[in-house]
Structure 1
Amino acid sequence: MTSDERTAGERHNPVMLRRCLDLLAPALTEPGAVVVDCTLGLGGHSEALLSTFPEARLIGLDRDPRALELAGERLAPYGERATLVHAVYDELPEVLQRLGLPRVQGVLFDLGVSSMQLDEAQRGFAYAQDAPLDMRMDQTTGISAAEVLNTYPPGELVRILRQYGEEKQAKRIVEAVVKERAKQPFDRSARLVELIRDALPQAAKRTGGNPAKRTFQALRIEVNGELAVLERAIPAAVAALGVGGRIAVLSYHSLEDRLTKQVLTAGATSTAPEGLPVVPEQYQPRLKLLTRGAELPTEDEISENRRAAPARLRGAERIREAHTP
């Protein structure tokens, strides 16, 4: 059976599922509660939300048409309780406006690349198998990883590898890429993996798993504009929460987690000038943090699902409306 013939349920083991449900639970028990799964993927978290909270309605967003199709099959038994929308998660405000939902009670983000995208070789996300260098989550739009590699100026490629991949050897890798692309443009992943292996010094190859991992992460983030999207999406999700509403965010690398932490911590911090004996309502925090730092998956979960290993979970509750002067 190929990966494409398996059902969504067989292909997707949701990360930190029980903890995500526990974090969101207090907000989703009332009839008519609306929860948004901003990263629907194969629908594992969404299915659990719908079955655990029978009074809740779910809005599922994904930019990948194939994921929407598979998740739609999986969630079909829930009928009109599930509304699936082809959208990038920073489009949340527009989606909610279209659906006539000024406020929601829960929001979940499960960031990064989905199981399906990793498993389907032709998508080009996985460095462990040879495939076209695509990496677009929505293959109907945007530029591919091959186009980035073949057309970006060297300085821009170095910046992307350093910033998005935290790759210390960025300059060395880019020098090799520029030399090679002049002979023949890149179009497949195996050639890039081989080039990275050859470009790195021996010491760098001995640490941190596959030496291509950081470069592939950087290209994927650039192709899909992931951090720019996330910078808009987390504040928009917080703004969409009604009082008592909750947000849970699963990140898979330090850049995502840092961004999430900044937004949630800022919302949970008083904005009052120092020294006020009583803090007026408009300066009070809008959020209460539900996790102490970032929570990590258990050893049992990692042994069951290796993709859970890098996960970091943060949650917050909306405790008051934003002050409008």
Structure 2
Amino acid sequence: MEEENQQLPNNQKDAEAGYHVPVLLNESIDALSIQPDGVYVDCTFGGGGHSRAILQRLGQKGKLVAFDQDDDARKNLPDDERVIFIPQNFRHLQRFLRLHKITKVEGILADLGVSSHQFDEAGRGFSTRFDADLDMRMDQRQTITAAAILKTFTESQLHKMLEQYGEVTNAKTLAKTIVQQRALTSIKTINEFKQAVQSVVKGNPQKYFAQVFQALRIEVNDELGALKELLQQIPALLKPGGRAAIITFHSLEDRLVKNFFKAGSFTDTEADDIYGGRPESPLLVITKKPILPGTAETKQNKRSRSAKLRVAERKSDV
């Protein structure tokens, strides 16, 4: 990280430091085994930390394609002709690579979740620390917001979302309370929401609302749907020997990545002794167990504590 910052102008260093601290930076870049003349994709450009580390290992013939659906990320783009920036969700990976005449790449990196910038910008509505509109859109061009979900989802839909995406212990009770309260009062801001459901908050309020907000954020941005679409495109895009490195921040994401890398699908089924084994995955798992941040990183960046890095390589004989 220090070597990276030393090569940047001071104003650019400050901007990136305030935007997002890249998680598992060295581990993820090393895992890609970067070839100087290769083509690499950073699916989540954000503050550009991972992208700059990739560029440092690329030669003049190398290419980096950076995706980010959040328009704020564009401010962090380096002045580098080797970079192609695509302001789109990474679920459209293959489509936009083809538009740029790219059919195969040497490596794909994704650092999932919310950037520090998104959490720290009060007006974006991602954090429970501020009062703001319940927005939570990573892509400001889309129309659905967290407030819209709280207003329009049925009690059953709310229950399912809170239970599956947030693992909220009293999801059913909370869903019922939301439906009751929205008929009586406005629930458009973070504070209005907190006040409306205050009577059913269980345990540590900070942890409770973090789980609720995670569920809302995942729903608003269809995060798991986008991740599934990304994973399904990886085998066809990677050249033989090419690698995918994905950093997750909660068990729902990690389970999808683990199962897909292992089985080439999203179900971790055992082979059938009678009718034959399951189809072989086109990917070779490099990380039998996920790579976790070290003590020094978790002390420096508390948001890295839940991070897990998994790496897979495209097989040449499948």
| TM norm. shorter chain > 0.5 | yes
**1: CA distance, partners of 2:225 / 2:127:** 22
Query: Out of 27, 32, 35, which is 1:24 matched to?
Result: 32
Residue 173 (structure 1) shift: 1.3
What secondary structure does 2:66 align onto? strand
Q: Deviations over 1:171-219 (max 9, x none)?
A: 121222112211123111122234444312xxx3149x52201110000
**2: CA distance, partners of 1:297 / 1:196:** 35
Residue 85 (structure 1) shift: 0.3
| 2:309 aligned partner | 313
Is residue 48 of structure 1 aligned with residue 49 of structure 2? no
Contact 1:127/1:193 (8 A) holds in 2:
no
Contact 1:142/1:223 (8 A) holds in 2:
no
Contact 1:92/1:237 (8 A) holds in 2:
no
| 2:238 aligned partner | 241
Aligned letter for 2:177? A
Residue 274 (structure 1) shift: 5.3
| 2:40 aligned partner | 35
Is residue 64 of structure 1 aligned with residue 60 of structure 2? no
**2: CA distance, partners of 1:257 / 1:266:** 14
Contact 1:9/1:44 (8 A) holds in 2:
no
Q: Deviations over 1:122-148 (max 9, x none)?
A: 000001111110000011113000000
**Count of matched residue positions in the alignment of Structure 1 and Structure 2:** 302
The 5 Å alignment of 1:67-106 reads 67=73, 69-72=74-77, 75-76=78-79, 79-106=80-107
Q: CA RMSD in A?
A: 2.5
**1: CA distance, partners of 2:159 / 2:274:** 46
Contact 2:124/2:136 (8 A) holds in 1:
yes
Q: Deviations over 1:106-135 (max 9, x none)?
A: 000111111111110000000111111000
| 2:5 aligned partner | none
TM-score, L = length of structure 1:
0.86
TM-score, L = length of structure 2:
0.88
| 1:288 aligned partner | 284
**1: CA distance, partners of 2:18 / 2:196:** 35
| 1:8 aligned partner | 16
**1: CA distance, partners of 2:17 / 2:235:** 29
| 1:3 aligned partner | none
The 5 Å alignment of 1:185-224 reads 185-200=186-201, 204-206=202-204, 209-224=206-221
Residue 230 (structure 1) shift: 0.9
After superposition, the Cα gap between the structure-2 partners of 1:196 and 1:16, relative to the gap in structure 1 and judged at 3 Å, is: farther
Contact 2:18/2:117 (8 A) holds in 1:
no
Aligned letter for 1:296? L
Aligned letter for 1:113? V
After superposition, the Cα gap between the structure-2 partners of 1:214 and 1:273, relative to the gap in structure 1 and judged at 3 Å, is: closer
What secondary structure does 2:298 align onto? helix
Contact 2:112/2:247 (8 A) holds in 1:
yes
Is residue 152 of structure 1 aligned with residue 153 of structure 2? yes
**2: CA distance, partners of 1:221 / 1:273:** 35
Residue 24 (structure 1) shift: 0.5
What secondary structure does 1:107 align onto? strand
**2: CA distance, partners of 1:23 / 1:186:** 45
Contact 2:242/2:314 (8 A) holds in 1:
yes
Aligned letter for 1:157? L
Aligned letter for 1:262? N
After superposition, the Cα gap between the structure-2 partners of 1:222 and 1:285, relative to the gap in structure 1 and judged at 3 Å, is: closer
Structure 1 unaligned runs (5+)?
Answer: 1-5
| 1:115 aligned partner | 116
| 2:7 aligned partner | none
**2: CA distance, partners of 1:52 / 1:30:** 6
Contact 2:40/2:63 (8 A) holds in 1:
yes
**2: CA distance, partners of 1:309 / 1:226:** 20
Q: Deviations over 1:248-304 (max 9, x none)?
A: 0000110000011111001499x998599xx9xxx6552221112222111111101
**2: CA distance, partners of 1:272 / 1:99:** 40
**1: CA distance, partners of 2:222 / 2:231:** 14
| 2:175 aligned partner | 174
After superposition, the Cα gap between the structure-2 partners of 1:273 and 1:164, relative to the gap in structure 1 and judged at 3 Å, is: closer
**2: CA distance, partners of 1:48 / 1:30:** 12
Instruction: State the identity %.
Output: 36
Query: Out of 291, 298, 305, which is 1:302 matched to?
Result: 298
What secondary structure does 1:40 align onto? coil
